[in-house]
Amino acid sequence: MAERLAAATAATLRASAAAPSARRAARASRAFFPNPSASPARAGVALRAAPSRLPQKARAVRCSAAAATAASDATQLKAAREGIRELLGTTHCHPVLVRLGWHDSGTYDKNIEEWPQRGGANGSLRFDVELKHGANAGLINALKLIQPIKDKYPGITYADLFQLASATAIEEAGGPKIPMKYGRVDVTGPEQCPPEGKLPDAGPSSPADHLREVFYRMGLDDKDIVVLSGAHTLGRSRPERSGWGKPETKYTKNGPGAPGGQSWTAEWLKFDNSYFKEIKEKRDQDLLVLPTDAALFEDPAFKVYAEKYAADQDAFFKDYAEAHAKLSNLGAKFNPPQGISLDD
């Protein structure tokens, strides 16, 4: 009897002690999971109030940490853009900077999902093994020109710098504003460079088929092929590098920059639609027309776009800006994933 009374007393004491804990647990549970029978207004207040429990300082630290993981620093990107503008004004290197950006991104293969095996805009062109690819002849000069900017602004990636230089060169030459984004991640070593043979050849046996083979592999289409070819309105071809063009012409013998080479247009530092006009007319023997250039007016599907751009510079500029931005993003891994805009 005494034992049963003692047991009953102990049970009562345990139940009494547990009740406050149970009530506290119930209150805690309701704080994070509102009672479904409560009014929507009260439930909404509970849900909205939860974030305010995180101290303001902690939220600021968390945001700063996220910003610190971005591939490139936006402030340094803007400063680097000014540095590129100054470089363009003194060296007239617009064409080679455009080519640098294109050749870094133009190795992309849409059929390969893994980064960086898929190629594209990842900064791999800074390594000697890729610079020595035949299609990249002369691009060591572009890298030497912009390396001081990279040294001055170490908070940006090579992948972003190459594309920033390319887009800025187009704009500074009178071309359209390119809707660019930044935050591309760099590859880390030469072993991550793409194999040779990913870029277009100037004189293939079947120019139109070759262009489609290369650009379709990148996920681009006929319009992209034609409009991007229009960037040849800038620059010259040097036979000692590419095997194409004359050593010099009346348009190139005095520079600006190092004299020589053969240009596609008379004003080869001005971005406009004269490339399409000159190829269509073929009236000046001092201007270059490669087999892949001529194909734009020989292939029926290409010709539709080439005729359009020869007649309408505004249409060319609009389509070019879109295609250039698309090309600059190929294969890139962005951090943050949505990229960084310099014009916000």
Residues designated catalytic: 103
Which amino acid type is present at position 277?
K
d(CA 222, CA 215): 8
Q: Which helix (H) or strand (E) holds 11?
A: helix 2-32
CA dihedral 282, 106, 245, 134 (to 10 degrees): -160
Phi and psi angles of residue 262, each rounded to the nearest 5 degrees, phi first: -125, 130
Strands (E), the chain: 236-237, 262-263
d(CA 79, CA 149): 9
d(CA 108, CA 125): 13
CB 137 within 8 A of CB 105: no
The DSSP bridge partners found for residue 334 are 184
Q: Which helix (H) or strand (E) holds 40?
A: helix 40-49
Instruction: Kindly state the tokens that stand for 177.
Output: 């504003």
Burial (CB count <10 Å: 0-12, 13-18, 19+), residue 179? middle
Burial (CB count <10 Å: 0-12, 13-18, 19+), residue 40? exposed
d(CA 214, CA 323): 15
Residue 118: closest CA among 192, 221, 216: 192
d(CA 134, CA 196): 8
Query: DSSP secondary-structure letter at 61?
Result: H
Calculate Rg over the CA atoms of the chain: 30
